[in-house]
Every structure is written in structure tokens, then in C-alpha cells.
Structure 1
Amino acid sequence: MITLVLGGDVNIQGRATPATAFERLNPLLQGADLRFVNLEGAVDAPVAEALTAAAIDVVSCANDLSSVASLPVLDRAGIAHCGAGATPDAAHAPAVLDRSGETVAFLAYTALRSRGQSALPDFPGVAQAFATTAYQPDPRVAEIPGRPPLVRTAPVPEHLDRLVSDVRQAKASNDHVVVSMHWGLPGPELTEYQVTYGRAAIDAGADLVVGHGPHTIQAVEVHRGRPILYSLGNLVFDWPAMRGRHVDGLLAGCMFGAEPRLELIPVRRNADNECEPLAGEDASKVLRYFADVSALRSTKVSVHEGIASVSGLGVGA
């Protein structure tokens, strides 16, 4: 049995004491075998200090604010990373961690991109999971002119094929596979490509898909007995443009084993931009929203005393 704690988007900058960035979350981070977050932005020594102080074991670097130049800083700090590298093969290589004789492989991809960031032969960058966008006329546009078109998205075929191949290879060599996806749009609505990528990763053997990128909380879907967390929202996030915006997020606690479990605790950045766990009615309100949007994905989420529990894990896996 292995336990993981997973958080969403993390951006650390401008702190007088970086080592305290996760201080109010430490009670939730302690005790897990592995701790994972998506790391947005360049990594310098203070950022590495914040991550090591919180005992973060592994980070995704596959996102639209990633800097491959930061990878040596993570290496020196002993923090595993995935989703970026000096070549495509390096960007697609899993970060593998061993706990109690079991291995967990972490793979990471981004659908959100900045120009020149994708890993190309002899050029560093991030692992791609891009999508195409098309606009379909509303079926009633002839009778009601001006109705907005339907937005249709789909994975880039070669990117989907590579992701599926990566997951299968990782699963063949390891006990568990976690796939990190940086994707989506703010708000509760999922894009079609998110669902396609997420389910394909599970079908290929992933035990868990963890999403981030929209900076807002999105649904969890249980597919073939394994969870797709479409977005955990923000965690510790110091990017000035995000001050006072998208302040809610989730920490996910996942247990791999004969009886898998997934529980989520809401967190919020306060007026001082410090991330802390929620309690009472504030926690219940966030989790009821999470349960409602997850119900739209045919997934039952139970809320009790500030913790959300996901049903249906292991069934049909």
C-alpha cells in the first residue's frame, strides 16, 4: 500500500521566508509516502528551499510557465521531476520513486503552451498533449441567427499516441502510474480533449490522472475504477496577477492497494495569500460544489466533516 498527497498549481516567488510557503499545509502533507505538485514558473534556490521544507518528492514541469533551465536546481535539491527535458525522450521519461518496495512512475504533459516550449530534437522543452479546436454551427442557427457556435476539441493524434505508449511502457515496468495533465479552461466546464486524454491514460494503465491548469476546481470522474481529477485548482500561488483570484483548491489524498481510496480536502489562499486548509461551512460549500460537478460525470462524491470521499474506485478496473 502506498499513500500519495497531490496538489495543483504552485508558483513561489517574492517571499521573505520561502521555507514557510507550505507551513499551514504541513499537517496534511506529513505522513504520506509521496507528495506531488505541479510547479509553474522558474525554479531558483528559494523555490527549491520551499519545496524541500514541505518534503515535496516530485513535481510536474510540463506547463506553460515551465523553464527547462530550472531542472538542475531541482536535481541538486533532490526533487524528482517529469514532463520536461533536454530532448523529447527526456521530457517523456517518467520520474520513478520507490516506497516500501513498490514503484510509482509519474508522467506529465501539457496542453497549454508558450511558443518555443515544446521539446524538439536537440532542443529542450516540455512533453506535449496538445489539442485542436473547431467551431460547429449551432443546430438552430438557421432559425435563430447569431447563436454562438459549439466549440469542439480533440487531441493531436500523434500526441495522444505517444501518451498512450508512455503510459503502457511505464506500467509494464512499475507497480503504479500517475499521469499529470496541465489543461482546460477556468470554470466547471470540461473540454472534450480533456476527457479523451484522461480516459485514454486510464485505458492504457494509469492508476490516477491528476489535472491542473485552469486555476479552478473541476470534477473528478471514475473511469474503469480509477480516478481522473480534472483540476485541483491552485495551491501555493504567488503570481501577482493571481492575487485574490481563484483562491480555492483541493489537496488529494490517494491510497493505492487492494482497497484504493481517494479523499480531498479544500484549501484557500487567505487575504495574505497564504494557503491554508478550510473548515466548517467554508469547507462544506467548496466540497458540495465539487460533488455537484462530479455528479455530472456520473461519479459519486460523499462529503463528511470537511472531507470529500470518492466512490466506485477499483470497480471494473
Structure 2
Amino acid sequence: MITLVLGGDVTLPGRATPAFAQLEPLLKGADLRFVNLEGHVDAAAAEALKSIGVDVVSCANDVPLPAAGLGVLDHAGIAYCGAGANLDAAHAPAVVERSGETVAFLAYTSLRRPFATQSDFPAIAQAFATTAYQPDPHVAEIPGRPPLVRTTPVPEHLDRMIADIERAKSGHDHVVVSMHWGLPGVELAEYQVTYGQAAIDAGADLVAGHGSHTIQAVEVHRGRPILYGLGNLAADRSDGLLAGCMLGDEPRLELIPVRRTAGHGCEPLAGDEADKVLRYVAEVSALRSTSVTVQSGIASVPVGT
């Protein structure tokens, strides 16, 4: 059994080690810690991550890490996935061993931005989608009704993701998939559901989503969780979630809400503030036919059945 704590989006410029101090009790007790790293990282920022025990980061983002940043992570001893010198490297898992078991981390982005000098950035593992607009079925009766937005994974990206997961699962005990995707708010785009469920079907033990900078639903698909939106761990926007998972024969999933502090750090919520955020998680997860129980500032999600 391996315990894993996952956080959402982290932007590090201007943040120092004390910014993460209040998270240490929640992180240090786990076997592994994972976050999504957006944008630039220098030696001081890497040390801030190292100080709270972060073992693995995703670098598959719409704000990608400059190529030099991968060397900074290597020097700090922080594993990364989703980016590399070429596409094969970007699609290769970051593998970490604990207690004689291996966990393979894969990362992909559905979000992208144009950059003037692509050579300054590493290759990124892609999970893009196409968008189409379907007229509302009642537009003839009520002119002007907005169209339905339909999104579909790019077939070759979906196929490669599935192949990556199947390969990783064949060689390792556990597979965790990170997805940078989504729009702010409650609604999930269709492509998120397609990619997320396909990852579980291919053998992933857990899918961790981020990128919308908002908390979104949890779905349990075939006994394994899809966290559609972890929100922010340390970014200058809204709340987020820390997800505590147990990987193994008796999987478990618990969620603790976190919030940005005035000092640009992050702290866990407690009491009524925590329960308010987690009740929202329960409400939006019910839309995905998933039950979430909230008690004393912690949400529990039944998995493994």
C-alpha cells in the first residue's frame, strides 16, 4: 500500500519556502507527493518544493517550463513528467519506487498557448480536443438560443495516451495520470470525460485534473477516481484541493480544501469554511453519480468497488 498526496496548480516565481509551511503536516506523512508545476522554476523555487517533500511534478501545461527548468528539477532531485527533449521523452513516465512498489506518473495537456520561440521550450505531451457547435434542438421555436458545445479528443492523441498507460501498467504496480484541461466553473467539457474514462479503462489507478483553476467534480469510474479539477495549490487565484490517496488492494481517497494566503502561500481550511467547499464538491460530484461524504473538514470518496 502506497500513500500519495496530490495538489493542483503551482506557480512558483516570488514564492519562498515559508509559503508552504502550513502544508507540511499534510504532506510529510505520505509516501509520495505530486503537484502540477506551471511556468518558470529556479533553484530557490525548486528548493521550496523540495522543502515540503514534493517528489514528482507535471510539466505538461499551457504555460510550459522553459527547457532550462528541466535541468533545475534534475539538480533538485524532483522527478517530472509530460515534458522532455523530444516527444518520446515527454510521453515517458516518471517512475518512483516506494516499499518495493513502483508508481508511474504520466502527464498531458489539453490547453496550449502560442510561443514566439518554441525552441526555448521542451516537447510537451498533448491531449488536445476539437470543438464544434451544434444548434440547440429548440432554436426554431426560440430563436437565438445558444448552441451546444461539443468537444472531442484528437484521435491520435487519445490513442497515444492509451498506449502510454497500457505500457506503463504492464511494467509498474500503479499508474497515475495528470491532465491539464477544462474551463473555469462547474461544467465539464465532453473531452474531459472521454479522456478521463479512457485513462481508467486503459489501466490508470487515478486521474488528477487541473488547469481550470477551479474545483470540479470527482467521478469514480470502474472503481477508480477521476479528479476533474483540483484547483490551485499555490497560485494567485481560487481555492483548491489536496487529494490523499492510498494505492493498492484497498484504495482510499480523501479530500482537504486549501486556500491562498495573504503571503502568497497556501493553508488548509478547517471548520465551516472547509465544509462549505467540500459540500460543493459533493454537489458537483453527484452530477457524475459519485457520492462524497463530508465530515469535520475532510471529504471521503468511496473507491475500489
Say which SS state the counterpart of residue 22 (structure 1) adopts: helix
Shift of 1:259: 1.1
Instruction: Give the letter aligned to residue 92 of structure 1.
Output: H
The residue that corresponds to 2:132 in the other structure is: 134
Whole-Å separation in 2 of the counterparts to 1:314 and 1:13: 38
Shift of 1:150: 0.5
Is residue 266–residue 287 contact of structure 1 (8 Å, CA) maintained in 2? yes
Say which SS state the counterpart of residue 35 (structure 1) adopts: strand
The residue that corresponds to 1:187 in the other structure is: 185
Structure 1 residues 140-219: aligned runs within 5 Å: 140-219=138-217
Whole-Å separation in 2 of the counterparts to 1:175 and 1:8: 24
Say yes or no: does 1:285 pair with 2:276: yes
The residue that corresponds to 2:304 in the other structure is: 314
Whole-Å separation in 2 of the counterparts to 1:89 and 1:116: 21
Match of 2:39 among 24, 38, 41: 41
The residue that corresponds to 2:49 in the other structure is: 51
Shift of 1:115: 2.0
In the TM superposition, what whole-angstrom CA distance separates every residue of 1:40-95 from its partner, at most 9, and x where no partner exists? Answer: 01111111111111110000000011123310100000000000011100000000
Instruction: Give the letter aligned to residue 219 of structure 1.
Output: A
Which runs of no fewer than 5 residues in structure 2 stay unpaired?
none
Whole-Å separation in 2 of the counterparts to 1:271 and 1:189: 29
Whole-Å separation in 2 of the counterparts to 1:163 and 1:279: 37
Match of 1:24 among 9, 22, 32: 22
Instruction: Give the letter aligned to residue 14 of structure 2.
Output: G
Instruction: Give the letter aligned to residue 186 of structure 1.
Output: P
Instruction: Give the letter aligned to residue 9 of structure 1.
Output: D
The residue that corresponds to 2:83 in the other structure is: 84
Instruction: Give the letter aligned to residue 304 of structure 2.
Output: G
The residue that corresponds to 1:104 in the other structure is: 103
Whole-Å separation in 2 of the counterparts to 1:114 and 1:72: 23
Whole-Å separation in 2 of the counterparts to 1:10 and 1:30: 18
In the TM superposition, what whole-angstrom CA distance separates every residue of 1:125-171 from its partner, at most 9, and x where no partner exists? Answer: 21000000000001111111111100000000000000000000000
More deviation, 266-275/217-226? 266-275
Query: Could you tell me the TM-score, scaled by structure 2's length?
Result: 0.97
Say yes or no: does 1:11 pair with 2:2: no
Deviation >2 Å, runs of 4+: 270-274
Query: Could you tell me the TM-score, scaled by structure 1's length?
Result: 0.93
Is residue 20–residue 53 contact of structure 1 (8 Å, CA) maintained in 2? no
Whole-Å separation in 1 of the counterparts to 2:115 and 2:192: 23
Structure 1 residues 265-304: aligned runs within 5 Å: 265-304=256-295
Say yes or no: does 1:255 pair with 2:254: no
Count of residues in Structure 1 that have an aligned counterpart in Structure 2: 303
Whole-Å separation in 2 of the counterparts to 1:46 and 1:204: 38
Shift of 1:263: 0.2
Whole-Å separation in 2 of the counterparts to 1:66 and 1:51: 17
Say which SS state the counterpart of residue 3 (structure 2) adopts: strand
More deviation, 264-273/289-298? 264-273
Whole-Å separation in 2 of the counterparts to 1:273 and 1:107: 28
Whole-Å separation in 1 of the counterparts to 2:249 and 2:123: 37
Instruction: Give the letter aligned to residue 307 of structure 1.
Output: I
Instruction: Give the letter aligned to residue 276 of structure 2.
Output: K
Shift of 1:116: 5.1
Which runs of no fewer than 5 residues in structure 1 stay unpaired?
none
Shift of 1:274: 2.5
- Structure 1 vs Structure 2: percent identity of aligned residues? 74
